[in-house]
Chains A and B, each alone.
Chain A
Amino acid sequence: MTRENLKLGRSGEELAKEFLKKNGYKILACNYKDRLGEIDIVAQEGEIICFVEVKTRKGLRFGLPEEAVFNKKQKKLSFAALKFLKSNNLLDVNSRFDVVSVVLEAGLVQIKLIKNAFEFDLTH
């Protein structure tokens, strides 16, 4: 990842965080790291723990950002999410995976939230 991409990603995460807060999410953790993967944002909406993947794109040349959460990524996020739930003793709480897509184009910001974007996949 280039420095510029990383900066773009981080600013996307900041925008996503603000967006989630405005939509009633409580932010629990950011950039939660596991050996295999990293969860951009862990938040709580009502009684549900949400693992949020933020996808940021400048323009739509490479397709919609939410299309970039591939199967392999879903597995990595699943293992990281399980780790989070276990280490915080939250396995009994309902949880789900959301994707926030941030598109920056011509000075405009477009943010979209996809709830329950995918489900736990712990297969190898």
Chain B
Amino acid sequence: MLYYENKLKSEGFNFIVGIDEAGRGPLAGPVVASAVVLLEDNFENRIDDSKKLSSLQRDKAYSEIIQKTIFGVGIVSEKVIDHINILQATRLAMKEAALQLLGKLDPSTNKNIHLMIDGAIKLDLDLPSLSIIKGDSKSKSIASASILAKVTRDRIMDDYDKVYPNYGFIEHKGYATKKHKLAVKKFGPCQIHRTTFNSD
């Protein structure tokens, strides 16, 4: 899980940023991205693709990650997703996460920054970047980013469940489960349902 990190370090990069998102697929809610620079290699909790962990494992990992990394989080609401599209919204969330992280770095140190992005997405940031398919199970930095993004998004959806209690957001987080689909049929859509089609 540190192959890419070590490779880039040996090439002289000292800040390797893992970037991933959560929430491209659901019918409702925001897309959340996170950018992470590991400050330590060793973690007590399992750090892996957020989809492979239980929600309890993710919560524990989350607490550890925010202690042992520099991170940024980008949240793009369904309102913006409606206006642009989910792919552009995902890129925007990733860019915001990366910029937030970069803002936390000490401006006096010499920075050789390299981005590693999960999937095939490219960001228009003027930094060297590597897109890694299934990066969340190949790189610890990207895996950490996937956990931060997922936990952050899930907590947002849990809050939305209180505002829109008819749909079961606390259970499915906005994904198209049977229960969710039935609720939309029964109650109609609500403010956080996306009007855009996810074409992928």
Contact residues of A with B, CB < 8 Å?
A: 34-36, 75, 78-80, 82-83, 85-86, 91, 94-95, 119-124
User: Cβ of B57 < 8 Å from any Cβ of A?
Assistant: no
Question: Could you tell me the distance between the alpha carbons of A56 and B153 in the complex, rounded to whole angstroms?
Answer: 45
Taking a contact as CB atoms under 8 Å apart, the answer to whether B82 and A123 are in contact is no
Taking a contact as CB atoms under 8 Å apart, the answer to whether A95 and B195 are in contact is no
User: Cβ of B184 < 8 Å from any Cβ of A?
Assistant: yes
Chosen A-B contacts, 14 in total, with CB atoms closer than 8 Å, are: A79-B195, A79-B197, A80-B195, A82-B195, A83-B82, A85-B189, A91-B188, A91-B189, A95-B188, A120-B185, A121-B181, A122-B189, A123-B27, A124-B199
Taking a contact as CB atoms under 8 Å apart, the answer to whether A91 and B176 are in contact is no
Chain A at the B interface: mostly helix, strand, loop or mixed?
loop
8 closest pairs, A vs B, by CB? A119-B185, A83-B195, A124-B198, A123-B176, A122-B27, A82-B189, A82-B195, A120-B184
Extra 17 A-B pairs, beta carbons < 8 Å, given A79-B197, A82-B189, A120-B188: A75-B197, A80-B195, A82-B195, A85-B189, A86-B82, A91-B188, A91-B191, A94-B188, A120-B184, A121-B184, A121-B185, A122-B27, A122-B189, A122-B194, A123-B27, A124-B198, A124-B199
User: Cβ of B53 < 8 Å from any Cβ of A?
Assistant: no
Question: Could you tell me the distance between the alpha carbons of A94 and B186 in the complex, rounded to whole angstroms?
Answer: 11
Of B181, B190, B199, which one neighbours A123 at CB under 8 angstroms? B181
Quick one: closest B residue to A80, CB to CB?
B195
Residues in A whose Cβ lies below 8 Å from that of B27: 122-124
Contact residues of B with A, CB < 8 Å?
A: 25, 27, 82, 176, 181, 184-185, 188-191, 193-199
Residues in B whose Cβ lies below 8 Å from that of A79: 195-197
Of A35, A80, A83, A91, which one neighbours B190 at CB under 8 angstroms? A91
Question: Could you tell me the distance between the alpha carbons of A75 and B189 in the complex, rounded to whole angstroms?
Answer: 13
Quick one: closest B residue to A122, CB to CB?
B27
Residues in B whose Cβ lies below 8 Å from that of A119: 184-185
Quick one: closest B residue to A124, CB to CB?
B198
Residues in B whose Cβ lies below 8 Å from that of A78: 189
Residues in A whose Cβ lies below 8 Å from that of B195: 34, 79-80, 82-83, 86
Of B191, B193, B199, which one neighbours A122 at CB under 8 angstroms? B193
Nearest Cβ on chain A to B24's Cβ, whole angstroms: 11
Taking a contact as CB atoms under 8 Å apart, the answer to whether B176 and A120 are in contact is no
Question: Could you tell me the distance between the alpha carbons of A123 and B180 in the complex, rounded to whole angstroms?
Answer: 10
Of A35, A36, A85, A124, which one neighbours B176 at CB under 8 angstroms? A124
Question: Could you tell me the distance between the alpha carbons of A122 and B189 in the complex, rounded to whole angstroms?
Answer: 8
Of A36, A86, A91, A95, which one neighbours B197 at CB under 8 angstroms? A36
Nearest Cβ on chain B to A50's Cβ, whole angstroms: 13
Residues in A whose Cβ lies below 8 Å from that of B184: 119-122
